Each structure stands twice: as C-alpha cells, then as structure tokens.
Chain A
Amino acid sequence: MNIIVIIRQTPDTETKIKIGSQPNKIDPTGITWIINPYDEFAIEKALKIKEQIGTDGVETHCSVSLLACGPQRTEESIRQGLAMGADRAVFIKDDSLEYADPYVISKLLASELKNMQYDLLLSGKKLIDIESSQIPIFIAEELGLTHVSFVMKFTGIDAANKKITCDREAEGSHEIIEVSLPALITCDRGEDFPRYASITGIMKAKKKEIKEITVSKEEIEKFGQRTEIVSFDLPLSRKEAKIFEGEIPEKVSALVKALREEAKVI
C-alpha cells in the first residue's frame, strides 16, 4: 500500500503574528515554522497504518511518502516528517509559492500526484494559519477521487481488498464510512499524539530522499490565482477567561480561592 501525506508549513501556534510592511503580508521575522498540526496528525495516522499493515501478515509492504509545496524553509518540516518515520518525500520548491492561493497550490500538487503511485492520500482537515480546508478537496476533485473529510480515526484497513473504514465526527454523532481506495482523506486529531522523532529517526531522516521539483513562473501563472489576500487585520485582544472544571462544590471553592488568591478581590 502506498500512502502519500500532503503537508504544508504554518507558523507555530505560539507565534505572535505581526503584519508586514504590506498589509496583505505577514512579517516573517521571528516566526518558528512547524508542520501544520492537522497534517502532523495525518502523518501519525499514516505511520500507524504502516505499523498495522506490517503486522497483519496479509500485506507487508506499506510506504509513507510526504508531498509538500512551498518556499525553501518547508524543507525543515519535511525533514521532521521523515524523522517521525515517513520513508521519502517530494518537494515542489519555489519561493513564489509563499502566498499562492489554495487553488494554484492544489493544481500544482495534483499535477505532481498524477506522476505518483498511491492508494491513499491523507492531509490535515485544515490549515491553521489561513483556516482553509480547500487544498485537499480541490485535489480530490482534480484527480477524480472519493474523499472523506474530518476523519478522527481509521477503524479498519483492508489492504488486500483496498478498503478503509473511517470514523468521522458529525454533529453529536459518529459516521462510520467505508471507502474503496484510492481515496483522499482529511484528518482530525482523534486520539492521536503525533510521535516525537527518535534520535535515530532524525539521523536516518538526513539520508532519506527528498525529490525536489522546480516549477517555472509560467506554470504557476498558467493555473491562475482565483483568490487574492487583500489585507490582514489582527483580532481585537480579549481578556483571558478562566474556566473551572469538576463538580459544583469543587468549582465553587476553586472560584472562591481564585477570587481570594489570584484576583484578590475578596
């Protein structure tokens, strides 16, 4: 089974975003870049499938590849994904892709995927920076693939018959969906903690292949942006709220303690 995880890089969730000199750009200084957290969940899910397939005796082959597009700095996140345990990566590298819109990115990724072999495409349910869920779904459309979104976990993998069962949280309920492969699935956290890279994993990752693809300006322009970021605004700052957990008596005494000891109002 070949799994490809489509990943993007986003600023760390702790980053204090500053708007750049142009209102439609953010100031990149001091930003720590990370794998988009939902894409990291997708990597974790892929690696779990690989571990499971390795042990079920029916099919032993499973490979996990990463596919990313973005500016040079994206390579660091790709290495992190490889250190977690992915086998190889394909990287569409171009600095002009920093602000490319989801449509252009999905076109680029889809055109690369047409040259790759896969049974299962995974990605995060959304990008945390621009709050967009479009890219993977555009890709599914472009490749004519079935897609299931917001999947919490996989409850069954039938590698021999090329089927996968997804558990997807819907309003107050769970939908269990069985799909035939190939398919594209976008991932939620579920119960997954993305694994930490092991020291040996990091060392091995340095030797793993990252196939770099360069694209010409014309190719990018050919797809034509469909959206444009006109400007960014920072949200208005809000006072922190504190929520007390537990039974009512516990909550009340915690509240009184906080009013006394932290807020010092009583």
Chain B
Amino acid sequence: MSGFSLITDQDIIKGFCTDSSNYPGHAEALIRPKSTAEVSEILKEANSKKIPVTAIGNRSSLTGSAAAEGGWILDTSQMTKIIEINQGEKFALAEPGMMLSDFKKTILDEGLFYAPDPTSEKECFFGGSIATNASGSRTFKYGSTKKYVRALEVVLASGEILNIRRLNIEKNTFGYLPFQNMVDIFVGSEGTLGIITKAEVELLVKPENFFGGMAFFKTLSECLDFVVNVRKNLINQTPTITPRAVELFDHLGLDIIRPDSPFKIPANAKAAIFFEQEYTSDSNNGCEALLNNWLSFLESNKALVDDTIIAEQAKQQEELRRLRHKVPSSLFEEGGKYTKEGGGKISTDWSVPINRIHEIIDFAKKLKEEARIEDPVIYGHIGNGHPHYNFISKNAEQKKQILEVVHKTCKRVITLGGTIAAEHGIGKIKKDFMKYQYPESIIKSMKSLKQSLDPNNILAPGNIF
C-alpha cells in the first residue's frame, strides 16, 4: 500500500460527512494529505480503483457540495502554508487549508489587501473559497474570487499535477473563450475537476480607511429604490458615493439582530442597508466630504437619516459585520431544528440585474402569498441584485410547498437575465435547477468536460450533475 494513511474509524469520519447544508453524506475513509505529492499519490490510487474522492475545505458549503457520497474524504486542512507574499508584484501563493480570515489577516498585517470576503470568511478555507468562487459583501466593489486567482496548482483525477496561469493580456482569439483562461475552468468547479493544492492570488494595496454604516427605511420598496439609485449614481462620471458594500436586512432580518444590536433599530424601520465606504486623506475623497455626500444621498432617497448610524471605529465596524453574519448563522440553527421532520432551511441564491430587482421581489411576494407559506427572511448582497431568501420549513409538506415557490421564482429569474446560483454553487441540492439555466446541449458539453478530465467520475461525484 502507498505512503498515505487512511482513517477508517467511522466515529471520526462521521464528523466530516456533512456541511452547512446538513446534506447527509457518508464515506469509507478520511485522508489528510500534507503535500501536493501526497494528493497526487492518493488520486492515482483512487483512480486506479475507481474510488470516489471528495475534497473538503472547512465544510461551510450550503449546497451539500462538501458532503461526500461514498469513497474517501480528502481533507485539505493540513496544507496551510503561505509560501510567498510578494510585495513588489502584489500576489500571494498559498496552500488551500488556511482559514480565509486568517489568510486575509496575514496579508493585511503586511500592508496588503485580499478582497474576497464571503460572510463565512471565518469558517471557510482559502482553497474552499476558490473551489466555490466565493463572493461577499465587498464583491459590490471588488468582484468575486475568480478575478483574483492568477495561477493554480491542480491535481487531476489521474494524479497529474497541472500548473496553470491566467494570461495577462487584453486580446486573445486562440481557442474557445471559456477555455482560454484555464484557471477559470477550475475556479468554482466544486471539487469536480481537480484538487487545488496551491493558488496564487492577486493582492491590492490596503484601502487607506473606511467607515461602515446602517441606514434604515420605512418600506422594503423604498430601500430597493435606494439601491437602484446607488447603482445609477455609480455610472455617473463623478459618483457622489462609492460604497464597497451594500447589504440588505428586511424587517425579519432586523428582528434577528435587534436583541443584541449595539445601536437602536427604529421601530418603524422595515428594511435597512448595511454599507461600507472607503475614503482617503485626499480632501475630495476624504471622510468629511463623503459623509456629506452620503447624508444628501440618504436624504434624497427617503432613508431615516436621523437614525442612520456610522461605524468609524474598528470594533464598531467588526460589530456590523458580526450582525450581518448573525442572520444566516441563526437561520441555519433554526432550520436545523426541523430536519428530523423532513423540514429545514431552504435558501435561495439567485440574483438578477439590479434594474429587475423590484420586479422579481414583487413576483416572489405574490407567489408566496398565493401559496400561503410563511414569510422568508430576505437579506444579503442586494447591491449585486442578490438577496438571499431563507425559508424555514417545519416539515416535509411545507418544504415541498416552499420548493415549488422557489422553482417558479428561479424560472422567472432566468427570464429576467439572472442566475440561480450567484455564489453558493450547485452542489447536490441545486442540480434540478440546471435545466432552467442551460440548454440540454450545453449541459452535455459541461458533462463531457468533466468526463474528459475525470473519466472514472471519482472527483466529488454527485456535485453539479
């Protein structure tokens, strides 16, 4: 037998079989490689015996993508080195197993900035965030993880170690567009095409300073108008405000954070926007000028200005982010109470172009009222047209009703030019939705890519297809 060791004690393995979706997985063994060579050796052996291998990061996935369907679980948590932080060229090269927040903190301590910021950054790995093309509140300004991945070391199902690099050129007509930047094939591939063992990511200069804030609105509709106007303002030649994050809390989201909010949430607020705005010492983009602009912008967009709070201190800014995280994490707990009865949390991940946001929210509301299901909590990355709807179903019957509504909404999302999975991926629980987004022929071509890179279908089987 080879040089790696398999943990086969089911008591231990059980602890690694599901993820934050509570999807029930199972496996015969757990392996914790420490190097690329070891990963390659494991895959060679697994491939020759046709044993499934599911890579896991910190299993914060919300789609069952990290819940193995048999075979071996390949835990990346022992590969935690940051190999290089290059100040001159502004990149970092690292192994996948470090907690994303720790990775970002190390970068920040070096005076640089790694932009991707999924809400789960304290509970997901650097590698996991690449394998899912994670995004977060600051995606509003900075884009998703994909934009920052410069190069990858990937181990294919055969054990072959591939080193690929994004081309740093503006023009290219050499080959099919989706293949021109090979890196993009693996970013967000949810463990199905190869195992990421190293990644080189682009870093930015640390933003000089920023303030956070929370603005309240009397209706959800006025709050959405505000968001649409923020985006309109950004297309101006000289936008007055340039937030890096624009996140929504609806009235139920506000109810979740109210009990331990360190600031007053006005009783008449039915929605709120959490925002962050960077500023510099230059007077045009200075704190005072921007606060003035925010005040006029909020006033002209019907925000409850006297209740709008500003977080200037680091601990206050951190507190705002904690409150933002509290919404999905407490709903996750709430949903967990009903899994035994066949219920649980159902969360949507669709997004639409911002100018269609009113339309889709009205549509979803109408569907919900017709189906007489309970109100979902609506929160999240509204600046990107990407609110999460979280429903809690108490039993299997309710779950079925809710899923019907979700399916109908997703179909409409497609007609409005949106996507069904903006950041959480497909995993095992969103596979049914693929047919809404892609023609059968395109799904087939995706399958044949998978088939050619992993002919024995050993990598994360059950994910995506």
Contact = CB atoms under 8 A, between A and B. Distances in A.
B is bound to A: yes
Interface of A: 12-14, 32, 34, 80, 193-200, 202-203, 206, 257, 260-261, 264, 266
Given A198-B310, A199-B294, A193 B32 contact: no
Chain A contact residues, majority secondary structure: mixed
B262 A193 contact: yes
B298 interface: yes
Interface of B: 12, 15-16, 32, 77-78, 213, 262-264, 288, 291-292, 294-295, 298, 305-316
Most chain B CB atoms below 10 A, which of A13, A195, A200: A200
A196 B32 contact: no
A12 B315 CA distance: 9
Q: What are the 8 closest A-B residue pairs judged by CB atoms, nearest first? A: A196-B309, A193-B262, A196-B263, A199-B308, A200-B306, A199-B295, A199-B310, A260-B15
B314 A12 contact: yes
A80 B310 contact: no
22 contacts: A12-B314, A32-B313, A34-B313, A80-B312, A195-B263, A196-B310, A196-B311, A196-B316, A197-B309, A197-B310, A198-B308, A198-B310, A199-B308, A199-B310, A200-B295, A200-B308, A202-B291, A202-B310, A206-B288, A257-B15, A261-B16, A266-B12
Contacts of A202: 291, 310
A12 B12 CA distance: 42
Nearest to A195: B263
Contacts, number: 59
Nearest to B78: A264
Contact of B298 (A34, A194, A196, A199): A199
Given A14-B315, A260-B12, 14 more contacts: A12-B314, A80-B312, A195-B263, A197-B312, A198-B305, A198-B307, A198-B308, A198-B309, A198-B310, A199-B294, A199-B309, A200-B308, A257-B15, A264-B77
A32 B317 CA distance: 14
A156 to B, nearest CB: 23
Given A12-B314, A266-B12, A196 B291 contact: no
Contacts of A200: 295, 305-306, 308
A196 B316 CA distance: 8
B306 A196 contact: no
Contact of B314 (A14, A196, A264): A14
Contact of A198 (B16, B78, B306, B313): B306
Contact of A199 (B15, B16, B262, B291): B291
A239 B298 CA distance: 46
A19 B430 CA distance: 55
Nearest to B306: A200
B241 to A, nearest CB: 12
Contacts of B315: 12-14
A121 B262 CA distance: 25
Nearest to A40: B313
Nearest to A262: B77
A193 B263 contact: yes
A264 B32 CA distance: 10
Nearest to B212: A196
A34 B305 CA distance: 25
Contacts of A257: 15
Contacts of B305: 198-200
Given A12-B314, A13-B315, A264-B32, A199 B213 contact: yes
Contacts of B309: 196-199
A206 B315 CA distance: 23
Nearest to A197: B310
A46 B310 CA distance: 20
Contacts of B291: 199, 202-203
A199 B264 CA distance: 14
B288 A196 contact: no
Contact of B313 (A12, A195, A260): A12
Nearest to B59: A261
Contacts of A13: 315
Nearest to B294: A199
Contacts of A14: 314-315
A14 B316 CA distance: 12
Nearest to A206: B288
Contacts of B262: 193-194, 196
B102 to A, nearest CB: 12
Q: Which of A13, A199, A266 has the most CB of B within 10 A?
A: A199
Most buried by B among A197, A206, A257, A261: A197
Contacts of B263: 193, 195-196
A264 B16 CA distance: 12
Nearest to A193: B262
A175 to B, nearest CB: 27
Contacts of A80: 312-313
A264 to B, nearest CB: 7
A265 to B, nearest CB: 11
A13 B313 CA distance: 11
Contacts of A266: 12
Nearest to A13: B315
A264 B97 CA distance: 13
A263 to B, nearest CB: 11
A195 B291 CA distance: 18
Nearest to B309: A196
Nearest to A80: B312
A12 B318 CA distance: 13
Contacts of B307: 198
Contacts of A198: 305-310
Nearest to A37: B315
Most buried by B among A80, A193, A206: A193
A158 B307 CA distance: 29
A222 B262 CA distance: 44
Nearest to A260: B15
A32 B307 CA distance: 26
A171 B292 CA distance: 49
A229 B312 CA distance: 32
A264 B313 CA distance: 36
Contacts of B32: 264
A246 B16 CA distance: 23
A247 to B, nearest CB: 16
A144 to B, nearest CB: 36
A179 B261 CA distance: 33
Nearest to A15: B314
Contacts of B78: 264
